[in-house]
């Protein structure tokens, strides 16, 4: 017999205790009540009786109980050679689920995980079935049960380890839920319906808090499949992360472009002071790098930090624009133990360029005419730059200017060719606003509408007309639907044009004057639309340009024309990148590591974003940068409690977690721990000790009764 | 002692005694001792027992002796030393049952019963009466809990001598674990009044034999003093002193004219009652012979 913890045998020395107590018990302090002591004289017990031990049976039982306890704690086992197959027990069907997510890039984690995976493979007996799945954002089968079975029993271990050879942690997020479901399905999808086959999933992962478990909520975990978590532990604890936030609603205010980043610190972190620095490429032309920003984030909290976007010197940028000339940059977080998630790639939003073509005869300097107001109502912002180009209708604007114009505003009669050109643009999807200054423009309207004979009549109300009926459901008026903004009655109209002919059936009347005459009419034509205004915003027609509604209305008009700026695109690793539409030739995609791919014309989105960094769509100065960052959930590296898996219904086998798993030992004689844990002799010894204690209690009870009887006078 | 009610216990003892009397060779004993004697001229013919005459054709007079107004006073010790007991019952319980038995027995015979309980002083005093309900008062007084801390036999007996002027019978029930010297004077005084005194000493068998085995700390029930005692070593000395005490008590009683009855609590109560009556019969014969 051998012992796992022989030092506990020293506990047997406690046997001396009962022996001592049995000797000491002779000098009892029991009290006996007696009627009168008048006939008694003090007589202390005789010393000669002290050395005598009574109740030998009790003493023996007590010593035996103590000895058995000491023996049980020493965890004895019988060292005997065991046939290797018998030790393995029944056949097992095992799926090794290996985490390859970005958080495994932390120092030594992958090495450790790999070693554990190899150990599990080596522990598989020839009668076992083994499969290997890896998971990050997706789950991949690296070695199937069939491949395992196909290999000869001697080669199986080598085949399985070879399947691990090419593996490296990716940059993707941890989708643990789908991976567990897939592993369970692999195990459930069994054609070997033998009884007694143990099915288990060995999960080698860092089990981070940010792992996604959603699919488990709606998945009923199959009975009989156990998950054995074998978590790898990082050398350091705590992690801080940096994440780009969406622009705040007031991002347009102020002149300094600002990026908002969120610095989060994990609850178990030791560090609290961090530093945020712009990458080396944040400035160009030798401009000084902005100083680092210190930020204090207590553990478990997060701070939102506004970061001023560094700009080049005005003289170098060549324009007094307040727009950041910075296209791409990286922001680094320092002061953190785990560097894998400390770089944030950004490309500050570039202002959208919107072209508006004005076709009219009025000069821009004429303060009563529409162009004057139009040119001043749409100032340049960080989000968009509206470029208004005016052209006389007779000057025949270039095709390019027509094509580039997001919105075309016409206020006068147009030559037929130009009207036809506009009509074709509308059909192609552009938006045209036609606000004729007089009914003389009827032929142009007829051509634009494609309804010959359409004619307009000038109307002049006795005093003024107001907008009496407004359809706030129309996108043009939707921003004014709130009762605070829906009062248009202060706008007086002096003149307007009325359709002398019936309106086409598909026309939508957006507003009517209080006289009932349609004021704004929406004509959908082809893929675009023609917006007819019965009265324009020249001061001769109305007060509209001077009202508070005018500027919002123009922006609403731009939105209607599809000019709304899209928010900056900041996908995470694995998210698709939408590709520009209407390409005529393959698009070159440049990865952060410099490699390029040609994307076919038919492709409308690129899905294989497998690393963080700046990806470029196209080449040269027109290339579009896309900053791809690590999934923020991957930065939540605090350990996930296995109880959470249990709550989601996953059946765990904690006893076989890595801590208790035996390390490989020479075959033949089983290792001490394994032999002991298999034999579990200590349990029987404890039961024996309990039995001895019960007998001791009985004997002590009987003895005490006998003693008390003897104490009574005969 | 298995019967909880004192009254029922006393009644059981007395009735058991009466039932057993039919088979007893000592037929015809009682406090009102009767005898038949030959009719002599001058006797009141009302006392002729005509039934005996019918059977034997001789005239016998049914003689009643000491037939009226026997006043019996029960003096019961309720001190703490009486609370000792190694059997299922204590000395106090035994003594109370004995007192109740006497009370029931005497009441049944129509005698007046009085009660005085005491420890270091007189606690309860019920004058001798024979009334319906009086017996119940006596039982109640006997059953009241003991409160005393020590036994001062002299004082209560002195007090009894002060209170009991009319001659009668005094039954003193105690363990008499007190100095005999202080008893002599009060007992003499009580006897001088003309009382017939019976002393019943209630002892636990352990007090009599000192049959303890284990060495332990002995605690005095009254004073609370403790002594480390090894019974094996202390037994001989104890028995010697205890027997000397008993002898001096017996001598004192003989000297004063008190009938002395040491009773161990393991002795059936009926036998105690029997002892008492037998002793009275003997005393009666002695007195008659003396007269």
Domains (range + CATH), chain B: 6-11+69-290 (3.40.50.410), 33-66 (no CATH)
Tokens of A182: 């897939």
Residue A712 has a pLDDT of: 53
Taking CB atoms and an 8 Å limit, are B219 and A41 in contact across chains? no
Residue A286 has a pLDDT of: 57
User: For a pLDDT cut of 70, what percent of chain A falls above it?
Assistant: 84
Using a CB-CB cut-off of 8 Å, the residues of chain B touching A711 are 212-214, 216
**pLDDT tens, A232-268?**
988 888 888 888 887 665 555 555 667 788 899 888 8
Q: How far is A18 from chain B (nearest CA, A)?
A: 21
**Cβ(A70)–Cβ(A15) below 8 Å:** no
Using a CB-CB cut-off of 8 Å, the residues of chain A touching B205 are 713-714
The three-state DSSP-derived secondary structure of A637-658 is: CCECCHHHHHHCCCCECHHHCH
Q: How far is B235 from chain A (nearest CA, A)?
A: 8
Of B84, B230, B237, the CB nearest to A44: B230
Chain B CA closest to residue A26: B215
Average pLDDT for A688-708: 87
| pLDDT of residue A535 exceeding 90 | yes
Average pLDDT for A648-658: 69
Taking CB atoms and an 8 Å limit, are B219 and A33 in contact across chains? yes
Count CB atoms within 10 A of the CB of residue A535.
25
Using a CB-CB cut-off of 8 Å, the residues of chain A touching B95 are none
Residue B283 has a pLDDT of: 66
A window 18-37, beta carbon within 8 A of B: 28-37
| pLDDT of residue A304 exceeding 70 | yes
Taking CB atoms and an 8 Å limit, are A34 and B233 in contact across chains? no
Most A CBs within 10 A among B220, B245, B264, hence the mutation to make, goes to B220
Mean pLDDT value across chain A: 82
Of B216, B233, B238, the CB nearest to A28: B216
Pick from A4-8, A85-89, A518-522, B186-190: least confident: A85-89
| pLDDT of residue A647 exceeding 50 | yes
| pLDDT of residue A376 exceeding 70 | yes
CATH architecture of A352-560: 3-Layer(aba) Sandwich (3.40)
Taking CB atoms and an 8 Å limit, are A37 and B205 in contact across chains? no
Higher pLDDT pick, B149 / A650: A650
ipTM entry: 0.75
Q: Which CATH number fits the domain A240-315+322-350, given the four candidates 3.40.1130, 3.30.160, 2.60.40, 2.30.30?
A: 2.60.40
Residue B19 has a pLDDT of: 52
Of A37, A44, A46, the CB nearest to B220: A37
Residue B64 has a pLDDT of: 59
**pLDDT tens, A187-226?**
886 555 555 678 889 999 988 888 888 888 888 888 888 8
Phi-psi region of A352 (alpha: psi -120 to 50; beta: other; left: phi over 0): beta
| pLDDT of residue A661 exceeding 60 | no
Tokens of B210: 């000192």
Q: Which stretches in chain B have pLDDT values below 50?
A: 20-33, 65-68, 287-291
A358: Cα within 13 Å, side-chain hemisphere: 17
Taking CB atoms and an 8 Å limit, are A714 and B214 in contact across chains? no
Pick from A345-349, A629-633, B112-116: least confident: A345-349
Q: Which residues pair with A332 in a beta bridge?
A: A277, A343
C-alpha–C-alpha distance, residues A73 and A88, integer Å: 26
Residue B1 has a pLDDT of: 57
| pLDDT of residue A427 exceeding 70 | yes
| pLDDT of residue A660 exceeding 50 | no
Taking CB atoms and an 8 Å limit, are A46 and B213 in contact across chains? no
Of A577, A579, A614, A609, the closest CA to residue A594 belongs to: A614
Residue A318 has a pLDDT of: 35
A333 phi/psi in degrees, rounded to 5: -110, 130
Using a CB-CB cut-off of 8 Å, the residues of chain B touching A47 are none
Chain A CA closest to residue B216: A30
Using a CB-CB cut-off of 8 Å, the residues of chain A touching B247 are none
Most A CBs within 10 A among B148, B206, B209, B236, hence the mutation to make, goes to B206
Taking CB atoms and an 8 Å limit, are A44 and B217 in contact across chains? no
**Cβ(A402)–Cβ(A408) below 8 Å:** yes
Residue A457 has a pLDDT of: 93
Residue A523 has a pLDDT of: 94
Q: How far is B179 from chain A (nearest CA, A)?
A: 10
**Cβ(A175)–Cβ(A635) below 8 Å:** no
Chain A CA closest to residue B223: A36
**Paired sense of beta strands A129-135 and A139-143, if any:** antiparallel
SS3 A456: strand
**Cβ(A558)–Cβ(A564) below 8 Å:** yes
Of B82, B214, B233, the CB nearest to A46: B233
Taking CB atoms and an 8 Å limit, are B229 and A40 in contact across chains? yes
Average pLDDT for A342-364: 83
C-alpha–C-alpha distance, residues B115 and B170, integer Å: 10
B window 46-85, beta carbon within 8 A of A: 81-82, 84
The H or E element containing residue B274 is: helix B269-290
| pLDDT of residue A410 exceeding 90 | yes
Q: Which residues contact A544 (CB under 8 A, 6 or more apart)?
A: A491, A493, A535, A536, A537, A550
Of B205, B229, B230, the CB nearest to A46: B230
Q: Which residues contact A5 (CB under 8 A, 6 or more apart)?
A: A73, A74, A75
Tokens of B281: 């019969």
Residue B16 has a pLDDT of: 62
- pLDDT confidence tier of residue A518, bands split at 50, 70 and 90: very high
Domain with CATH 3.40.50.410 in chain A: 89-233+639-667
Chain B touched by A48 (CB under 8 Å): no
Taking CB atoms and an 8 Å limit, are B225 and A28 in contact across chains? no
| pLDDT of residue A129 exceeding 60 | yes
Residue A284 has a pLDDT of: 54
Maximum C-alpha span of chain B:
74
Domain with CATH 2.60.40 in chain A: 240-315+322-350
| pLDDT of residue A383 exceeding 80 | no
Chain A CA closest to residue B210: A713
Chain A touched by B243 (CB under 8 Å): no
Of B81, B175, B214, the CB nearest to A711: B214
Using a CB-CB cut-off of 8 Å, the residues of chain B touching A714 are 205, 209, 211
Residue A18 has a pLDDT of: 81
Q: How far is A714 from chain B (nearest CA, A)?
A: 5
Using a CB-CB cut-off of 8 Å, the residues of chain A touching B227 are 37, 40-42
B window 205-234, beta carbon within 8 A of A: 205-207, 209-223, 225-230, 233-234
Q: How far is B212 from chain A (nearest CA, A)?
A: 5
Under CATH, to which class is A89-233+639-667 assigned?
A: alpha beta
Q: How far is A680 from chain B (nearest CA, A)?
A: 47
Chain B touched by A40 (CB under 8 Å): yes
User: For a pLDDT cut of 90, what percent of chain A falls above it?
Assistant: 23
Average pLDDT for A382-388: 80
Residue A367 DSSP one-character state? T
Q: How far is B154 from chain A (nearest CA, A)?
A: 17
A412, A456, B63 from A442: Cα distances, Å: 10, 6, 167
C-alpha–C-alpha distance, residues B273 and B281, integer Å: 12
Residue A311 has a pLDDT of: 64
Domain with CATH 3.40.50.880 in chain A: 352-560
**pLDDT tens, A3-43?**
888 888 888 888 888 888 777 655 556 778 888 888 888 77
Average pLDDT for A686-706: 90
Residue A316 has a pLDDT of: 34
Size of interface A-B (CB pairs under 8 A): 103
Taking CB atoms and an 8 Å limit, are B229 and A713 in contact across chains? no
């Amino acid at each position: 017999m051998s012992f796992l913890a022989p030092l506990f045998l020293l506990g047997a020395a406690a046997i001396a205790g009962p022996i001592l107590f049995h000797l000491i018990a002779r000098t009892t302090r029991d009290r006996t009540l007696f009627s009168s002591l008048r006939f008694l004289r003090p007589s202390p017990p005789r010393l000669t009786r002290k050395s005598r031990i009574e109740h030998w049976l009790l003493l023996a039982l007590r010593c035996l109980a103590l000895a058995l306890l000491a023996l049980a704690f020493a965890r004895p086992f019988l060292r005997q050679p065991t046939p290797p197959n018998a030790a393995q027990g029944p056949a097992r069907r095992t799926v090794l689920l290996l985490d390859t997510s970005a958080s495994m890039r932390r120092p030594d984690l992958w090495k450790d995980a790999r070693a554990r995976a190899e150990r599990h493979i080596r522990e598989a007996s020839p009668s076992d079935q083994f499969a290997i799945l890896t998971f990050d954002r997706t789950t991949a089968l690296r070695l199937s049960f069939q491949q395992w079975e196909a290999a000869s029993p001697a080669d199986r271990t080598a085949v399985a380890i070879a399947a691990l050879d090419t593996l490296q942690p990716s940059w993707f997020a941890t989708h643990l839920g789908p991976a567990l479901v897939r592993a369970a399905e692999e195990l459930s999808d069994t054609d070997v319906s033998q009884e007694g086959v143990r099915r288990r999933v060995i999960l080698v992962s860092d089990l981070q808090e940010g792992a996604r478990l959603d699919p488990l909520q709606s998945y009923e975990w199959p009975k009989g499949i156990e998950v054995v978590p074998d978590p790898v532990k990082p050398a350091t604890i705590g992690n801080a992360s940096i994440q780009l936030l969406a622009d705040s609603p007031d991002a347009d205010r102020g002149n300094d472009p600002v990026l908002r980043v969120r610095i989060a610190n994990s609850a178990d972190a030791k560090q609290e002071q961090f530093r945020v620095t712009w990458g080396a490429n944040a400035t160009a032309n030798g401009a000084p790098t902005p100083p680092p920003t210190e930020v204090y984030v207590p553990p478990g909290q997060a701070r939102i930090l506004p970061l001023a976007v560094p700009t080049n010197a005005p003289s170098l940028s060549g324009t007094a624009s307040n727009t950041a000339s910075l296209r791409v940059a990286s922001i680094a977080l320092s002061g953190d133990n785990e560097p894998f998630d400390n770089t944030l790639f950004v490309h500050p939003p570039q202002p959208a360029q919107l072209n508006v073509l004005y076709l009219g005869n009025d000069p821009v300097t004429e303060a009563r005419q529409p162009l004057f107001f139009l040119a001043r109502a749409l100032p340049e912002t960080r989000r968009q730059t509206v470029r208004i180009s005016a052209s006389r209708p007779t000057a025949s604007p270039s095709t390019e200017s027509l094509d580039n114009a997001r919105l075309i505003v016409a206020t006068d009669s147009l030559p037929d060719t130009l009207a036809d050109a506009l009509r074709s643009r509308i059909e192609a999807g552009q938006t045209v606003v036609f606000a004729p200054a007089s009914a003389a423009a009827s032929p142009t309207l007829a051509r634009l509408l494609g309804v010959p004979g359409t004619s307009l009549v000038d109307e002049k109300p006795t005093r003024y007309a107001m907008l009496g009926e407004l359809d706030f459901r129309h996108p043009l008026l939707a921003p004014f639907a709130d009762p605070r903004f829906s009062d248009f009655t202060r706008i007086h109209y002096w003149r307007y044009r009325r359709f002398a002919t019936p309106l086409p059936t598909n026309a939508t009347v957006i507003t009517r004057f209080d006289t009932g005459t349609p004021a704004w009419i929406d004509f959908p034509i082809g893929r675009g639309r023609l917006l007819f205004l019965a009265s324009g915003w020249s001061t001769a027609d109305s007060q509209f340009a001077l009202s508070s509604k005018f500027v919002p209305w123009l922006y609403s008009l731009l939105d209607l024309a599809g000019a709304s700026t899209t928010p900056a695109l900041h996908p995470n690793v694995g998210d698709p990148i939408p590709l520009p539409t209407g390409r005529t030739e393959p698009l070159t995609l440049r990865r952060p590591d410099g490699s390029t791919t040609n994307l076919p014309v038919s492709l409308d989105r690129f899905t294989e974003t497998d690393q963080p960094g700046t990806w470029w769509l196209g080449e040269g100065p027109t290339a579009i940068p896309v900053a791809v960052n690590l999934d923020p959930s991957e930065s939540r590296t605090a350990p996930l409690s296995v109880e959470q898996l249990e709550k989601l219904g996953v059946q765990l086998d904690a006893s076989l977690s890595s801590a208790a798993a035996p390390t490989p030992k020479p075959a033949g004689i089983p290792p001490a721990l394994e032999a002991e844990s298999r034999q579990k002799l200590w349990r029987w010894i404890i039961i024996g000790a309990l039995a001895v204690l019960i007998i001791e209690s009985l004997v002590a009870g009987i003895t005490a009764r006998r003693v008390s009887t003897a104490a009574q006078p005969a | 002692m298995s019967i909880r009610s004192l009254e029922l216990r006393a009644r059981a003892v007395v009735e058991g005694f009466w039932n057993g009397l039919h088979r007893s060779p000592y037929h015809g004993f009682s406090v009102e001792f009767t005898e038949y004697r030959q009719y002599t001229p001058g006797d009141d013919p009302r006392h002729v027992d005509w039934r005996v005459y019918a059977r034997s054709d001789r005239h016998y007079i049914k003689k009643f002796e000491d037939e009226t107004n026997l006043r019996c006073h029960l003096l019961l010790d309720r001190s703490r030393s009486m609370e000792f007991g190694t059997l299922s019952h204590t000395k106090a319980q035994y003594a109370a049952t004995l007192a109740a038995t006497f009370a029931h027995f005497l009441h049944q015979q129509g005698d007046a019963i009085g009660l005085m309980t005491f420890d270091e002083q007189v606690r309860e005093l019920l004058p001798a009466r024979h009334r319906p309900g009086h017996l119940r008062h006596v039982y109640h007084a006997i059953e009241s809990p003991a409160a005393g801390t020590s036994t001062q036999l002299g004082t209560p007996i002195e007090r009894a001598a002060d209170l009991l002027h009319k001659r009668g019978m005094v039954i003193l029930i105690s363990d008499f674990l007190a100095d005999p010297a202080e008893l002599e004077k009060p007992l003499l005084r009580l006897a001088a009044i003309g009382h017939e005194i019976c002393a019943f000493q209630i002892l636990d068998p352990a007090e009599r034999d000192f049959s303890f085995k284990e060495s332990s700390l002995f605690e005095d029930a009254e004073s609370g003093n403790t002594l480390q005692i090894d019974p094996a070593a202390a037994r001989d000395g104890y028995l010697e002193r205890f027997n000397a005490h008993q002898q001096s008590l017996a001598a004192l009683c003989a000297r004063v004219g008190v009938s002395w009855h040491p009773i161990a609590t393991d002795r059936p109560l009926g036998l105690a009652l029997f002892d008492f009556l037998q002793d009275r019969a003997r005393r009666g014969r002695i007195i008659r012979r003396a007269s």
